[in-house]
Structure formats: structure tokens, C-alpha cells
Amino acid sequence: MPGHFEPIPGGGAAVALDEVEISIVRSLAVQLLELIGPGPGGEPSDDPLAELFAEGPSEPPTDPVMMRLLPDAYGGPGSEHGADDPEELRAHSAEFRRFTENDLRAKKRDDALVVIRSLDSMTASGEGGAVLKLSVEESRHWLGALNDLRLAIGTRLEVTDEEDADLLFRLPDSDPRKPMVMAYLWLGGLQETLVGTLLG
């Protein structure tokens, strides 16, 4: 799928997408929303202070994808705190998660919703394909969602480094993972060109 983002006058980015590409990204964003789940209590509260001070879970998610999207702050993979006491690190991670996970989930939900809404505004025209134009703010939401989608798919495919990605690229067409691999690589291209557009 050849789509890539390009800058537009006044900031923001544009990409040409056909019906299949729109359907794929929208479906993946909806699945991401379902995975992240609703906010605390399921519905937004009328009391903004209650939401502000609502505590999240202290235990990490059991789903490997959610653990990748919501990693431990201390002592997890890539942490600089690996030499410290494991029990102490778990306690710090639990405390940090309790006060940050709800906000992180909310941001990821917002990112996915912006993707879905912007794609829905394209398909409403009934065209076979169209150019999606995003403001700078929408582009940032898209960047967050594309990153989350790639992390989610990469976790399911057990991609841990570039070598894994290269091996997956050479899978035979008969391999049931091939469609997800192609989506993973295509989303990576979108993400890379969107980063370049925003930095340019």
C-alpha cells in the first residue's frame, strides 16, 4: 500500500487513502479502543475533580499488548533501575501506575477516536478513495495512534527488534500472519512519513 503523508500549507499533513486502506486503519483503531477499554467507571463523570483524583489500577495488565502499551515505570524492560531491589521497584511501579494509568489510557483513547472520526469524515463522501487532510493537532493524535497500533501488532507478532521484522517480511504468502505483517510494515511507513512531515 503506497500511501504516505506529505506536508500541507499552513501545517498539518495529508495522505491519499483508498477504501481498503481506510477500512484497515479504521478497523485497527476500533480494535485498539476496545482493547484500551472505557474510562474509570465506564462513563465520564460530571465532576472534573473526581476524575482528576480517580485512582487507577496498581497491578500491570496481564495482556502482553496492554503491558507493552502501559509498561511498568520502574524495573521493566529497558529500565535504568534494574540493579535496585525488585520488591522496591514493584512498589514504586504500582504507585506510579495508580496515578498515571487512567490518564495514559484516556490519551490513547483520544488518539484512536481522532483517527476514527477523521476517517469517517472521508468515507461519508462515498468516494472510492480520498485525500485525508489533518491539522497539526490531528496529526499528533494520528502519530500517537499509529505508534500504539504498531506496538500492539508487533507484540502479537512477537517482534522485538528489526531482525524479527525482517524475518516476518520474508514469510510466505500462505503464512496466516502475513496480512498482519503487511499491515505492520505499512503502518510503519505511514508513521515514518508523518514524523518527517511534522519535523519538516
- The DSSP letter of residue 37 is -
pTM of the entire predicted model? 0.82
Grid cell listed for 19: 477504501
H-only helix segments in 124-161: 136-156
Integer angstrom CA distances of residue 123 from 72, 80, 96: 38, 46, 41
Residue 6 · residue 197 · CB < 8 Å: yes
- Of the chain, the percentage scoring pLDDT greater than 90 comes to 45
Residue 24 · residue 116 · CB < 8 Å: no
- Can you say whether residue 71 is alpha, beta or left, with left for phi > 0 and alpha for psi between -120 and 50 degrees? beta
Query: Is it the case that residue 31 has pLDDT exceeding 70?
Result: yes
Q: Which of 195, 189, 197, 192 is nearest to 2 (CA)?
A: 189
154-171: pLDDT as tens digits: 999 988 877 777 787 788
pLDDT at 79: 47
99 pLDDT band, cuts 50/70/90, is confident
